[in-house]
Amino acid sequence: MSVRNEGTSGTNGKNAASKVLQKCKGGLITVAVASALINLLYLTSSFFMLQIYDRVIPSRSIPTLVALCLLALMLYAFQGAFELARSRMLTRVAGIFDEALGARIFKTVVKAPVKGHAGGDGMALMRDFDQVRTFLSSAGLPAFFDLPWLPFYIAICFLFHQVVGYIAIGGAVILTILTILTNRKTQASAKELHEIGSQRGTLLGAAHRNAEVVEAMGMGDDLSRSWSQINDRYRQSHRQNSDVANGYATVSKIFRIALQSGVLAAGAVLVIENQASAGIIIAASILTSRALAPVEQAIANWRSFVSAQQSWKRLRQSFEIVPETDAPLALPAPRQNLIVDGLISGAPGRQEMVIANISFAVDAGSAVGVIGPSASGKSSLARALTGIWPIHRGSARLDGATIQQWSDEDRGKHIGYLPQDIELFEGTITQNISRFRESPAPEAVIEAAKVAGVHELILGLPGGYSTEIGPGGSTLSAGQRQRIALARALFGNPFLVVLDEPNSNLDAEGEAALAEAIVRIRERGSIAIVIAHRPSALAGVDLVLMMKEGRVAAFGPKDEVLSRVLRREFSSGELRPTPLKIVSEGQGQE
C-alpha cells in the first residue's frame, strides 16, 4: 500500500529569497552607489595621464603638474574611501544574510531528517549557507557590480577615437564568450564536486561517531580504504574543476594584457598619422584595461560564483521541503485522553506504510505497554504519536485535537520522548534535562530528576547538576545516559510520555526507578506509552497493546492480555495469540 507524499510549498524558497533581499536592500543600494562612484573615479588615472602628456609636457609647467598631482591624490583618496566603504558594506550584507536565515537554516537542518530529506552528513546545508555568506563578502561580488559600467567605459573609448572603441568592443565580446564557456564548463563539475564531497563527509562523520566500534573490531584500515576511494574521486573532480576555472581565468588575463598592448600599438599608428595625441595612447590603454577588468575578475571568481549559486539553489529547495508555517492557535494543555483512530504512518519521504489501522484509546492516569516481535511497528508507533513521522491517514488526538494542531514548541511541552538511540548534547546535566531551555526553574529540573529516580545519581557526580557530560554524553555510562534522558522526557510534566525501550541499558536499580517513574506519571494524571521487549518494563502499566506486522493484534488490561493473548505455543516456534480482543482491520475488537 502506498500513501501520498507530504505537500511542500513551492513558493517558500521564493519567499525566503524576497525576505532576505528586502532586509539587504539598503546595503545593496549603498554598494551600488559606492560602485558607481568608484567606477567614475577609476577615470582619474586615464585623464591624469592624458593631461600629463598633452598639457604638462608640452607647456613644461611645474605648477600645472603640482595642481594635477594634488587633484589626483584627492580623487585617489576618495576612491580608496569608497572601496573601503563598499567592502565593509558587503561584509555587513553577509551579516544581514546570516541574521535573516541563520536560525531558519538551523531549524531546517534539524527538521530535514524528520521530513525524510537528510542529505550527506547532515551538515551539507550549513556548508551551503556558509558558501553563500562567504561569497557575499568576497572580492568576487564587486566585479558583478562593476560589469554594468562596461558600456560607459567603451563610450569613453569612442570619445578618444573610434578605433579604440571598436578594439574595446571586440575585447569585451571575446571576454564575454570566455565567461559563457567558463560557466558551462564549471556548472557540471561543481555539482559533481559537491555530491562527492557530501559522500566523503558522510563516511568520515560516521567513522568518527563510531570510533569505539572501529577501534574494537579493527575496521580502521577497511574504512580508510573506502574513504580513500571516495577521496580520490573528490580530488580528481576538484582538480578538473580547478583546471577549467583557472585555465579560463589565465586566458582572460593574458588576453586583457595583450589587448592593452594592442591598444598602445593602435594608438601609435593614430599618432603617426596625426589622428590622435600621444596622451590618448596612454589614456586609452589604461581605460581599455579598466573597462575589461570586471569581466576578467568575474571569470577569475566564476568558480566561487557557481558554487554560491548552486548552494543558494539547494537552500531554496530545502526551504520548500521544510516550509515556514504560521503558528497555529494556542490550545489549552491536554488533560483527558489520547485517542488513536485508524492511524496509518510511515517513514518520512517514503510512500510505503509501516503501521496501519492503529486504533486505541487511553484515559489520563493510564500507562500502555506496547509489546510484540521485532519489526512489528512498535517504534514506528512511538514516532507517529510524537509527531516525528507523518500521519498519512487517521489521527492521533490529545483531548480531541490532533497533534498537528499544536506548534512544534507547544507540542514539545506536552510530550516527553525517550528514543531507543539515546543522544545527549554537549553541555551540563541541567541543560540536558531542561531541554536547553533558557533559565529553567531549578525546582522543575530537580523534580524531573527525582521522578526519573536519577537525583541521587546526579548528586554523586563531581559537579552535580553542573557536570559537563561531553559530546553525546561521552563521560557517562550507557545506563546513566538513559536515566538522564528519561528525566529530560519528564521535564515540565508533559501529558503524554512515550518511552521506547527505556530499560535497555538499566540495571536492577535503574529498572526499579523506571517502574516507580511510570507510577508517578500515572499519579499526576499523565499518560505513558512504554515500548518494551523485557517484561520488567511493564511493571507500572495497566494496559497492554500487542503489535504484529504493523497492526494492533490485541489491546486491553495488562493481566488479561498477558495471561490469555500472549500465551506462547512453541509449535513452529511462533507466537500464536488466542482470538480474545484481536483487533481486525477497520472492525474494532472481536
CA 562 – CA 546 distance, rounded (Å): 10
For the chain, give every domain's residue range.
Answer: 10-321, 337-572
- Total count of residues recorded for the chain: 590
**Tens of pLDDT, residues 38-59:** 989 988 888 888 888 888 888 8
Query: Which pairing describes strands 527-531 and 496-500: parallel, antiparallel, or unpaired?
Result: parallel
One-letter identity of residue 18: S
Q: Rounded to whole angstroms, what are the CA distances from 498 to 24, 91, 95, 411?
A: 44, 47, 41, 13
Instruction: End-to-end CA distance of the chain: give it in Å, rounded.
Output: 25
* 135/108 Cα distance (integer angstroms): 21
Q: What is the distance between the alpha carbons of residues 567 and 572, in angstroms, rounded to a whole number? A: 14
Q: What is the mean pLDDT of residues 541-558?
A: 90
**Res 566 pLDDT > 70:** no
Alpha carbons within 13 A on the beta-carbon side of 270? 20
pTM, whole model, 2 decimals?
A: 0.70
Residues 227 and 207: their CA atoms lie apart, in Å, by: 10
For residue 120, what pLDDT is reported? 53
Return the pLDDT at 118: 57
Residue 34: the pLDDT is 92
At 172, the amino acid letter reads A
Cα torsion for 532, 533, 535, 536, to the nearest 10°? -60
Q: Which CATH number fits domain 10-321: 3.20.20.10, 1.20.1560.10, 1.20.1050.140, 3.40.50.280?
A: 1.20.1560.10
- Confirm if 292 and 259 have CB atoms less than 8 A apart: yes
Residues 6+ apart with CB under 8 A from 368: 360, 362, 527, 528, 529, 530, 541, 543, 544, 545
> pLDDT value at position 234?
85
Q: CB neighbours of 468 closer than 8 A, spacing ≥ 6?
A: 426, 427, 428, 475
pLDDT at residue 567, as a whole number: 56
Q: What is the pLDDT of residues 313-372, one digit of tens each?
A: 888 888 877 777 777 778 888 999 999 999 999 888 777 889 999 999 999 999 999 988
User: In CATH, what number does 337-572 get?
Assistant: 3.40.50.300
103, pLDDT greater than 50: yes
Most confident of 219-233, 481-495, 552-566: 481-495
Cell numbers at 102, concatenated:
541563520
Which range of 107-111, 139-143, 184-188, 544-548 scores highest in mean pLDDT? It is 544-548
SS3 61: coil
- Which region holds residue 390: left if phi is over 0, alpha if psi is between -120 and 50, else beta? beta
